[in-house]
Structure 1
């Protein structure tokens, strides 16, 4: 099986700072991959380059074998890359339904097909448990539900790669349990790349984990391998966090 996503020597400089420094990364189709690391490790900059929001200073990004390094974000969406932001990016003055209808229309050849739009919207909202709030104004949702709405907007694009940046921030324990089930369902049809600080969730959900530190990949492996990695313990997890995870 060929990789879905590959980066080679991916680097991003901000002035004299290397936020991401020569990262080689491979993601296989159908995988749930978590990216972890301390604040400032380069995680969000890395995925921002993958989705096209930030252009690399050096290196290459391949998606399904094609070079997308210089491709604009909207073209990457058409290729099948969807990215949910660390900070919610819903349209607060639109209804929950209309927020999801916008990305659904991008997937349709005939964007005027009301029946197809309606089906796509309800399917996405049902997956995240927000179908009963479809008529609400998005800005009136609780913060955790806004995060779920953003996931629904990503799912509405029918992505091949769904990138989730801190998706459980603001969710209750019960909502996090639902989110775990949701991601596993999504992974039946798509690949998931997840940035997350909730270590118990990461250890429960991820097939493999990539650990960033100071813009570089410090370690990579299964949850069990990462939990017992001495370098990861020293740089990020700490003994207590490792035992808790």
Structure 2
């Protein structure tokens, strides 16, 4: 595994009124890693990744991506830098076809390469859909698909952006057991060319996929380590794994 730090936060914080949703978080993820971010509901996970992607601004602290300070960089420019974020709630274009949804992402990515032709955009879109198992749904209207397939479509849209860091927020929600197995194979494949940050409640998926697990609780890092270490951590069991 590469040892180059892809993204780092220092003292990252976000307050909403008197609520410290994210509090003084120091976090680093390496290139080529599959990192899982877990924690109980309300732990600050979605707020944290929204800070990383630029959807919200921090109250304090900094974010570095490939050694560059991106704390004040807007979300659309972070996408160009190589940070793609699939949302906890699907953000597809429901009236467009499955193909057109992904082609829009591919077109955005290829704008970095002057002279990108429609055929190249189409090929990139089809490749991304092939990866997630939706190549037979190209012409379907996106909004008519099941929730689980819409989640896979959103992953394909993220892949078409050719990200260096792909943030997946609750990607297995709404997927069947068979689809979850296929998703796990997909993430392993993605990790060959991109770093993956996975926010997930499905603990078997987390334990199967993650190289390292970061546990958030009350907006702070409670623990960090290998799946084996996290499973055995008494504080994590009390705060999260031992509940429900």
| Distance in 1 of aligned mates of 2:37 and 2:109 | 28
Query: So what's the TM-score if we normalise by structure 2?
Result: 0.97
Give yes or no for the alignment of 1:187 onto 2:191.
yes
Please state how far the C-alpha of 1:98 moved relative to its aligned partner: 0.3
Q: Is the 8 A contact 1:7 1:62 kept in 2?
A: yes
May I ask how many residue pairs the two structures share in their alignment?
Answer: 240
**CA deviation string 1:68-116 (max 9, x = no partner):** 0010001000100000000000000000000001010012234661110
TM-score scaled by length of structure 1: 0.96
Partner of residue 15, structure 2: 13
The match for 1:155 is 159
Q: CA offset at residue 2 of structure 1? A: 2.6
**Which residue number in structure 1 is paired with residue 231 of structure 2?**
227
Superposition RMSD in Å: 1.0
Give me the whole-angstrom Cα distance separating, in 1, the residues matched to 2:115 and 2:46: 32
Q: Deviating runs (4+, > 2 A) in structure 1?
A: 109-112
Distance in 1 of aligned mates of 2:127 and 2:116:
18
Counterparts of 1:34 and 1:145 in 2: how far apart (Å)? 22
Show the counterpart of 1:84.
86
**Matches of 1:73 and 1:137, distance apart in 2:** 27
Runs of at least 5 residues in structure 2 that lack an aligned partner in the other structure: none
Can you list the C-alpha shifts for 1:30-73, whole angstroms capped at 9, x where unaligned?
A: 00000000000000000000000010000000000000001000
| DSSP-derived class of the 1:18 partner | strand
